[in-house]
Structure 1
Amino acid sequence: MKEYRLIKSEEILLLKSQGCSSLNWNELYIKNTTDLSRIVSVEFSGTNYVSEIKGSKTFYGGISKNNCIKNVHLHNCKIGENPFINNVKNYIANYEIGDNVLIDNVDIIAVDGACSFGNGVSVDVINEGGGRDILIFNQLSAQIAYLLALYRHRTVLVDELKRMIVEYTDSITSTIGKIGDNVTILNTNTIKGVCIGNGTSIISASKLVNGSINSTNTSKVFIGTGVMATNFIVSSDSSVDNSSILVNSFIGQGCKIDKHYSIEHSIFFANCQGFNGEACSVFAGPYTVTHHKSTLLIAGLFSFMNAGSGSNQSNHMYKLGPIHQGIMERGAKTTSDSYVLWPSKIGPFTLVMGRHYQHVDSSDFPFSYLIEDKNKSYLVPGANLKSVGTVRDAQKWPKRDNRAEDNRMDIINFNLLSPYTIHKATQGLKHLYDIAAISGDKLEEYNYQDMVIKKSSLHNGIKMYNTVINKFLGNSIISRVEKEKIETLEDLREVLKPKSTIGQGKWIDVSGLLCPITALNLFVDKVERLELSTIDNVIEELNTINNKYYKYEWNWAVELIETFYGIKIATITQNEFISIVEKWKKSVVELDKMLYKDASKEFALHTHVGFGADGNEEERLADFKSVRGEFENNSTVVEILNHIERKEKLGDKIIAQIKEIKE
């Protein structure tokens, strides 16, 4: 504080003449450059520091006002350079305030005693009855939260992670709050115990209590009209607006919470959107989206999920309290008015339609439809692989990442086809073969774990899973050799040889991180052996696992290639390799043609209903084209056709390359 000095007696007289007062003028410190003429009607108590005041701020409508400190009670505050602080009805107490802030028409901003600013708050996720509580903190990622919530059986791991979080929380606990540089707080009521990062805008908020707003000058946070938040953390690049409510909640990076959305005991991670509805005890992994007033997300784990209007999940049938816990694996969608009775588990990239009153488990059947008809849950395995919407979603997610590239806490692997989904496809394929073998081909419907599979769906599912497995394995083996110089068969075998066994076996989705369970178990072992002792160590190790994804993927793919095709990589022949590529070409073209056909449905004649409201058929078609465009020029359709052409050329190129190698 060497740049500050105690205020002089003649300066005190000037401030008094401008309506200022102090319980003890000997506790007011200023700089030589502090323009005291800009300090008007200010009451000082405790120890205060005031920096240089010059320049002006521009308000909505183009109005410019000189920077000043006016009509405010300051208690134990340090004010940065060039503030505009005006009309604080009660006081600002125990805050360090950065440079170039704008605080106008506010009720109270204060910290009272030691405060951790939302860090260390316990949040009951996934199961509203408790038992999966996590401690939120500024550095919480989807992966750390996943381990805390779902690895309760690894008690040492959970205890160690909680210890690290408590250690971090203790390190930031303070009796002094912080308001960063370039912060705007305007027309806001109550702010108590809130740490406010650089560049934050708080406009017309109602109440903010015990929280952290982790904004930066390049990744700003906006808190808007009527927002009420208690025991909360909001991460960078996010916004909360329009009377939304947060209670015991964590909002990750790049999220949008708006239009009266209500969140209680929930955590939302990267690029989630919550509008109109409500969430209770929800673990919303990356890209969970809900936009409708009548939609309730409750006591579940979600990610890459789109909730339709009126979606609901619950179970109040148990006398000892509700069993509110369910999982919708990545990419699941619900249609309007859908219902799932918890506990249930929905497989990845599955569309849920209707109201399901059985405890279904479709987790081994990715890319499916789960459709209710006459109170039965019909499973249509692999049907979503034909949907152009599935591919469009996978393409759009990376493009809609709102996070700054240099600061991304959540690890997100966007791959649609991965060992995680393909492993499930192999499991689903096995189940379908077993059902067909045991039950024969005479039945029209088969019962499987509280679900019904029609005979036609079973046979189509077998076809779809075989097709997608061929596509994935072809992708993997082509990627392995595409950029390699291969002159002999021995060169080919060496390139294809796996470098380790890590990656073989089951793969899991750790809320965005796709990895073999063996790699995650090695990580867990390190934590339990105290080899990873800080949150920074944990984050670094999880990123290392992610960085090795393609190495692990190939180790897994080799194992499947050998079992699925009945060959050995160590002795693979040219013909065996070429056969895999030929199957890949056929699968790619087949799937793309299905997508093309699915896309064409949106341009069929029956979809023209409602267009050209007052005209004839010709005018209706013209109106449709002006709004929806022409099928042949649709960007997704064009990409499908280009994809077929590119992949056929790539397959031919690789086959020619392998044919030329020497035995």
Structure 2
Amino acid sequence: MINFRSLTDEEINRLESQLCSASDWKDVRVAERFTPDYVHHARFSGKVCLGVFEHEFTLPGGICKHSGLSYVTLHNVTVGDNCCIENVKNYIANYEIGAYTFIENVDIILVDRKSRFGNGVEVSVLNETGGREVMIHDRLSAHQAYIMALYRHRPQLTERMKALVEAYADEHASDRGTIGSHVTIVNSGYIKNVRIGDHCEIEGAGRLKNGSINSNADDPVHIGYGVVCDDFIISSGSHIEDGTMMTRCFVGQACHMGHNYSASDSLFFSNCQEENGEACAIFAGPFTVTHHKSTLLIAGMFSFMNAGSGSNQSNHMYKLGPIHQGALERGAKTTSDSYILWPARIGAFSLVMGRHVNHPDTSDLPFSYLIEDKNTTYLVPGVNLRSVGTIRDAQKWPKRDLRKDPFRLDQINYNLLSPYTIQKMMKGRSILKELERVSGETSETYSYQSAKIKNSALNKGIKFYETAIHKFLGNSVIKRLEEIHFKNDKEVRQRLLPDTSIGQGEWVDISGLIAPKTEIERLMSDIETGVLHTVDQIHDRFAEMHANYYTYEWTWAYGKMLEFYGLDAETITAKDIINIVHQWQQSVVWLDKMVYEDAKKEFSLSSMTGFGADGSKEEQVLDFEQVRGVFESNPFVTAVLKHIEVKTELGNELVARLSNIYN
């Protein structure tokens, strides 16, 4: 805390000789070691406090500038130690500026009356006409927003959450803004009612109005040239670049937006990358990615999603306006020129190709292809389980988590197979078997919702789902029994018993967080009854669910294991577990071999088209190998083969440990 003193008469004379002026010099206070050497052409009004100017900034290109004030008007401003503020065209008003901050060539920076700095702004997400508004704030997570937007059938919950955010916004409201320490603001235009965190860099921004930039030393924020943001919050580690325009938006941690991206009434959570295209009223959960100019995302909910060029949706049918919404569950992708007419719901890890206008709901058939042929939607269930792209995605997401802030807003579960997706596969398997039973095994096509399923696709879908269920349950059992030597079946049964009853029943994906529905219900009840009464307490509860995921997962997997394999908790034996492990081994190897064959297609002769310019087939192959490598030594391919080997050995090791019991 700096102790400020009044200026001496000598200092005032010196400042005036350096063309400085004040409406009242008594209102200008300075740090103990202040000297006026580096204060020129400055005007002061209101209460102004100045730190010392002893530091020298080294700028890109090697030029050095001493800290100080030059050609600037300050009104009700506190300037921390060793700041450099130069060439402010209009003025800076009502701000606390931290130490070592560099401000140069800006138009105006001001706070006008009491501001909440973007906290409490209502974002009309999913429905442009309103009804699903999310009130944004500094601590907003994807999971809080999910509940606020989607659980409107619980009006008391909605009102309580609004009240909590209002309380947070009011608590952080002020008639003075803050610009943190080690901040850089250069060549920028209009900045009004914006709170700026430590180590933030703002270079060439056009307009920033009513918002918070929650930068910090661990994970700074960068705002680039031509950026225009109104009514916004930007979280730590995010980069908003190159003419991006946002109105009423929340940007989560480590997001990247650029190349003239345009967004309104939208929420973007951790690690989203948005470039070139346009978003309107979208709920972009973690890792929502769109790179193409022709891509419009509108009124949809997404996560772990990649939008192909020309992807588009419609949220109205020219009747009552833009009131329809849709969802692509986690991991869904759209190909180039895909189109979906909302309302629709696409199952997790599915691929959408072509135009779909009949409102498909494939949420119980995950890992599917939706393909359009002559205006008809064809569904290929489960086929994406064998796709090399799906496996690669699952591996790359954790590596692409760029968050460096130790305080993480979103609790992200990256698991491809989880109670959430496996429960859907179990339901999908039942649906496919029932379709086969009702329509007959010899039917060429089956109708499901507004889609068609071919006979061969249906049978393969059942096989894919069963294989994935074996794989997940086997994974869970092996993990539960690892590194323990058992003397008898009783010890095995004892170890298999869950540690908690939490985890039974349905599971949900709350935009990146996978959790038992019972825990989400408990959270919502605690909000309604006032047990949870701050936004940070809600955050802590989500973090607790995430931390306990594997404990809860085993509770669910244990129950499903008994049900799926027809076992009894009282009589289960080591031999039963060995049978499960053998089925698991077969499933893992079969799926990996399918992925291996899918990867092989990437190295076929047809994939070499365009390689070996002006040369022979031999040159084409050589050129391809120089660019793409050889199939056998491809890192992903070798990883798949290694995975088969490791998993086989893992299963054999458990079988060997259990075999001692009944041999």
Tell me whether the two structures share a fold, i.e. TM-score over 0.5: yes
What is the distance in 2 between the residues matched to 1:35 and 1:570? 83
In structure 2, the residue corresponding to 1:174 is in which secondary structure? coil
Is 1:466 the counterpart of 2:466 in the alignment?
A: yes
What is the distance in 2 between the residues matched to 1:156 and 1:542? 20
In structure 2, the residue corresponding to 1:190 is in which secondary structure? strand
CA drift at 1:569: 2.7
CA drift at 1:59: 1.9
CA drift at 1:549: 1.1
What pairs up with 1:609-628 in 2 under 5 angstroms?
A: 609-628=609-628
What is the distance in 2 between the residues matched to 1:89 and 1:545? 51
In structure 1, the residue corresponding to 2:304 is in which secondary structure? coil
What is the distance in 2 between the residues matched to 1:179 and 1:332? 40
Q: Is the 8 A contact 1:98 1:182 kept in 2?
A: yes
CA drift at 1:355: 0.4
What is the distance in 2 between the residues matched to 1:483 and 1:369? 40
Instruction: Describe the shift of the 1:159–1:316 C-alpha distance in structure 2 as closer, same or farther (beyond 3 A).
Output: closer
Q: Is the 8 A contact 2:127 2:322 kept in 1?
A: no
Is 1:385 the counterpart of 2:385 in the alignment?
A: yes
CA drift at 1:551: 1.6
What is the distance in 2 between the residues matched to 1:16 and 1:529? 62
What is the distance in 2 between the residues matched to 1:309 and 1:2? 54
1:227 aligned partner:
227
- 1:246 corresponds to which letter in structure 2? M
Query: What per-residue deviation string (whole Å, max 9, x for no partner) do you get for residues 578-600 of structure 1?
Result: 11100000000000000000001
What pairs up with 1:321-332 in 2 under 5 angstroms?
A: 321-332=321-332
CA drift at 1:495: 0.5
Q: Is the 8 A contact 1:89 1:107 kept in 2?
A: yes
CA drift at 1:108: 0.2
1:33 aligned partner:
33
What pairs up with 1:321-400 in 2 under 5 angstroms?
A: 321-400=321-400
In structure 1, the residue corresponding to 2:443 is in which secondary structure? coil
In structure 2, the residue corresponding to 1:54 is in which secondary structure? coil
Query: What per-residue deviation string (whole Å, max 9, x for no partner) do you get for residues 500-529 of structure 1?
Result: 432122111001110111121112122222
- 1:406 corresponds to which letter in structure 2? P
Gaps of 5+ in 1: none
Instruction: Please identify runs of 4+ aligned residues in structure 1 that moved more than 2 A.
Output: 498-502
2:177 aligned partner:
177
CA drift at 1:405: 5.6
Q: Is the 8 A contact 1:129 1:324 kept in 2?
A: no
1:76 aligned partner:
76
My pick for the range that moved more, 386-395 or 572-581, is 572-581
Q: Is the 8 A contact 2:331 2:349 kept in 1?
A: yes
What is the distance in 2 between the residues matched to 1:645 and 1:319? 58
- 1:577 corresponds to which letter in structure 2? I
Q: Is the 8 A contact 1:313 1:341 kept in 2?
A: yes
Query: What per-residue deviation string (whole Å, max 9, x for no partner) do you get for residues 611-649 of structure 1?
Result: 011111111111101110111111110110000000111
Is 1:43 the counterpart of 2:39 in the alignment?
A: no
What pairs up with 1:3-152 in 2 under 5 angstroms?
A: 3-152=3-152
Question: Alignment RMSD, CA only?
Answer: 1.1
Percent of residue pairs identical: 51
What is the distance in 2 between the residues matched to 1:624 and 1:531? 62
Q: Is the 8 A contact 1:497 1:570 kept in 2?
A: no
In structure 2, the residue corresponding to 1:570 is in which secondary structure? coil
What pairs up with 1:435-446 in 2 under 5 angstroms?
A: 435-446=435-446
1:513 aligned partner:
513
Gaps of 5+ in 2: none
- 2:101 corresponds to which letter in structure 1? V
What is the distance in 1 between the residues matched to 2:434 and 2:238? 48
What pairs up with 1:213-292 in 2 under 5 angstroms?
A: 213-292=213-292
Instruction: Describe the shift of the 1:285–1:2 C-alpha distance in structure 2 as closer, same or farther (beyond 3 A).
Output: closer
Query: What per-residue deviation string (whole Å, max 9, x for no partner) do you get for residues 47-71 of structure 1?
Result: 1000100121122211111212000
Q: Is the 8 A contact 2:11 2:35 kept in 1?
A: no
Instruction: Describe the shift of the 1:539–1:316 C-alpha distance in structure 2 as closer, same or farther (beyond 3 A).
Output: closer
1:573 aligned partner:
573
In structure 2, the residue corresponding to 1:661 is in which secondary structure? helix
CA drift at 1:498: 2.3
Q: Is the 8 A contact 1:386 1:595 kept in 2?
A: yes
Query: What per-residue deviation string (whole Å, max 9, x for no partner) do you get for residues 7-43 of structure 1?
Result: 1222111111101111111100012311201000001
Q: Is the 8 A contact 1:298 1:324 kept in 2?
A: no
Query: What per-residue deviation string (whole Å, max 9, x for no partner) do you get for residues 131-152 of structure 1?
Result: 1001100000011001100111
State the TM-score, normalized to the length of structure 2.
Answer: 0.99
In structure 1, the residue corresponding to 2:650 is in which secondary structure? helix
- 2:536 corresponds to which letter in structure 1? D
My pick for the range that moved more, 339-348 or 535-544, is 535-544
